[in-house]
Every structure is written in structure tokens, then in C-alpha cells.
Amino acid sequence: MDNLVLSFTVVLPLFIMMVLGYFLKVIKVFNAQTLEQLNSSIFKVFLPILIFYNVYTSEISDIFNPKLIGYSVISILAVFFIALIFIPIIEKDNKKRGVLIQGIYRSNFVIFGIPLSVSLYNEQIQGTTAVLIAFIIPLFNLLAVISLELFRGVKPDIKKIIMGIITNPLIISSAIGFIFLFSQIKFPDVITTTIRDISQIATPLSLIALGGSIDFKKVKGNIHQLLIGIIGKLIFTPALILSFGIILGFRNAELSILLSLAASPVAVSSYTMANQMEGDYDLAAQLLMFGTAFCVITVFLWIFVLKQLGFM
């Protein structure tokens, strides 16, 4: 029961903020132009600051776990390439292809990962999770740019894809964060505090913008894609990553980190990136909304099964 309450506690605030965004659209506080400008500012300013702060504040020297980091990176790449092979076979719409691939491999690790891992194995694990974030979030963003650029509906242009990666604000912020992290450059406390405060705007603002952009009239046309995306993200991905993780000997706290990485719903920024890179952002919004809802059940079941089997 505690694990179910935990899942509700983590996920419910996300829903409340999405509902607020939808309500603000209904009462005409938001219109299409406002939402477009809001999404642009989130993508270009607030999410990059959030990612920079997460990388910049990591403590790699104290809690570096190369085996866990290596397996996490390889497993995400494996899921990405599996999706890259199979999604184009079962989905013919290019704008939906990139969004579905992103929706299957990419998780809400920043928002969902640390609270879930810490709740299961106390705050001693928070540092390890934060260090993993410094590696995983840039990888998520890099693969998202590749998948969305590949299926923009035109013939893939390698130079354009490379430029899209190099100029993506989320990847630039990750790179700058690593430069500061490894060079041990530190801002004065007042600057760090200001960056932290600004970074805290990103997630609620993204969720509110997401809620305002949801169009329920278009859900009916995406039922097939929603089933593929949600089953792929909440069942296939964790089954694959956790199974091989157990075979490789990950247990308890380390396995809880892999659980939070694999079983979390798709990242909030997936919608913003789809919106900015000409993907099917309606489908991206629906994958986030319904994935966040169903993960309350699936995360509870994954925790229950792993605990029953004695792996956590």
C-alpha cells in the first residue's frame, strides 16, 4: 500500500498542473498564440536551465558508479534502436514515428526518478541518481533530436540532423553543464540559488503548457498509436531493462534506480521537443498524459513483483 501511495504522491501533482493548463485554455486565458510562445520559451530557456542545473550540481567524484551508468546508457540505446527498427514498420505517418520512438525509450527520470528511488532506499541513493541524470538526460535529448529529425517528413539530411543536434538548446545546456562539472568551476552561492530557482519553473510551466495544448477531439484518431506507445514505454521497456539488469547482478538500491529510469512515463520535455521540431505534438501530449495516468498502476506492479521476488 505504501508503494501505491508513493506512486500517487509523485504522479498526482503532474496531473493537477495539466488540468490547470487545460482549464486556463477553456476559460480563454490561453490561446493558440500564447501557447506557442510559452512552449518556445520553455524549450529555449527554462528546460535548458533545468538540465544545466541538474548536471552542474552532480557530484561525480563521490558517487560514480561506472557499471550502473554503462548499463543504463547501453540499455537506453538498445531500446532506442529496437524502436527505430520496428516503429516505421507498424506506423506509416512520419510525424507520429519520431514521437512514438521518443515516447518508448525516453522517461521522466528527472521528475520521477529521484523521488521514486529516494522513497524506496532513502536519501543515500540521491547522489548516485543525480550523477546518472548527468549522463542519461543528454543521451535522451540527443536521441530525441535524431528521431524527430529523421522523420520530419522530408528526406533525411545528415548535415541538417547534425546541425539540429549541435544547436539544440537542451544538448547545448547539457554540454555546458559537463564543462562546469568536470572543470570544477563554481558560481557564487547567490548565482547558484538563482539558477536553481529559475530551473524549478521548467517542470510546472511545461505541464501547464501541455494541459493547455491537449485536444481531446484528436485522441480517437490516435488510439492505435497510444496503445503502442504506452505498452512500449510502461511494459516493454522496463521488462527489457530490468530483466537484463537482474541477470547482470543489479539488486536493491541499484535496481530501484533502473526501475525509475525504465518504468517512468515519458518525459515532459518530449512534448515540447515534438512541438518545436514539427512532430505530432498532439500524440506527444496524449502519450504523456495517459502514460502518466497508467504508470501509477504499472510502477506499483513493478515494485510489487520485484519485492515479492526478493530483488529489491
Average pLDDT of the chain, as a whole number: 85
**Domain ranges (residues) in the chain:** 2-308
Q: What is the pTM of this model?
A: 0.80
pLDDT of 123 > 60? The answer is no
Number of helical (H) and strand (E) elements in the chain, helices listed first: 16, 0
Query: 101: Cβ–Cβ under 8 A, 6 or more apart, which residues?
Result: 80, 83, 84, 87, 147, 151
Distance (Å, whole) CA 108 – CA 90 = 25
Q: What is the pLDDT of residues 185-225, one digit of tens each?
A: 899 999 999 999 998 888 788 888 878 877 777 788 899 99
Give the pLDDT score at 96. 95
Domain 2-308 classification at class level: mainly alpha
Q: What is the pLDDT of residues 125-156, one digit of tens each?
A: 666 776 787 788 889 988 998 899 888 866 66
Q: What is the pLDDT of residues 35-92, one digit of tens each?
A: 888 888 988 899 889 888 878 887 766 567 899 999 999 999 999 999 999 999 999 9
Cβ(164)–Cβ(145) under 8 Å? yes
Q: Please choose, from the candidates 178, 217, 179, 207, the residue with its C-alpha nearest in 3D space to the C-alpha of residue 15.
A: 207
